[in-house]
Amino acid sequence: MTSGPFVFDTQVLGRRPGTEKSYELVVDAPADLGLDVFGVPEGSPIDLELRLEAVMEGVLATGTASVHAVGECVRCLEPVEDDVDVDLQELYFYEGAGEDELAVEDEMIDLEPVLRDAVVLALPHNPLCDPDCPGLCPDCGFRLADDPDHTHGDAIDPRWSALTQLTERPEE
């Protein structure tokens, strides 16, 4: 297993159930932590509080992570920022872990997949600058929150446009 800010050594637990170790640290966010329109910028700080506890089956990782996410409103494209707190809890199995289970490898665990899943699931899929954001004008792209009375006049049905030309011409 490679080293990194989310890789923790469990050797200090000694595989003795009930033994635990706590961490409070700030680590840099990995790349692509989030969604296309809303995510955590790479390298931004993640406040991580973590407790590793030895249990019979493996190591139980429990904690919280606080991140600052940025993106844009899906309705009006204005910048959106939010602080997001997520809870983490995952059991890393000692030996014989199945394909879908996380494992302790060489007495090390990698918390990044667990953190990534928790953060991505906590982020809104459609971030809004305001719950009542009216979005953009479909005709010209004007931000409707800046002028709620924005209009383009009555729409004319293209099938009747020839009649409009008759009323615009002087009488013949």
Calculate the CA 46 to chain-centre distance.
Answer: 13
Confidence of residue 97 (pLDDT cuts 50, 70, 90): low
CA torsion sign, 138 to 143 to 148 to 150? negative
The pLDDT, as a whole number, for residue 4 is 81
Measured in degrees and rounded to the nearest 5, phi and psi for residue 164 equal: -65, -40
pLDDT for residue 140 is more than 60: yes
Average pLDDT for the chain? 87
Spatial distance between the Cα atoms of 27 and 47, rounded to a whole number of angstroms: 7
- Region 29-51: what's the mean pLDDT? 93
pLDDT for residue 98 is more than 90: no
- For the record, the structure tokens of 163 come out as 């009649």
- For the record, the structure tokens of 155 come out as 């729409």
The pLDDT, as a whole number, for residue 169 is 61
pLDDT for residue 100 is more than 70: no
Tell me: the pLDDT tens digits for 79-96?
Answer: 999 999 999 999 999 876
- Region 17-32: what's the mean pLDDT? 94
The SS3 call for residue 161 is helix
- Region 35-47: what's the mean pLDDT? 93
The pLDDT, as a whole number, for residue 171 is 59
- Region 132-151: what's the mean pLDDT? 85
The pLDDT, as a whole number, for residue 61 is 96
The pLDDT, as a whole number, for residue 146 is 87
Residues whose CB falls within 8 Å of the CB of residue 127, separated by 6 or more in sequence, listed in order: 37, 38, 71, 72, 73, 74, 80, 82
- For the record, the structure tokens of 65 come out as 């992570």
- Region 45-66: what's the mean pLDDT? 95
Alpha helices in 18-169 (DSSP H): 112-122, 161-168
Q: Which of 50, 22, 59, 37 is nearest to 127 (CA)?
A: 37
More confident residue, 158 or 131: 131
User: pTM value?
Assistant: 0.76
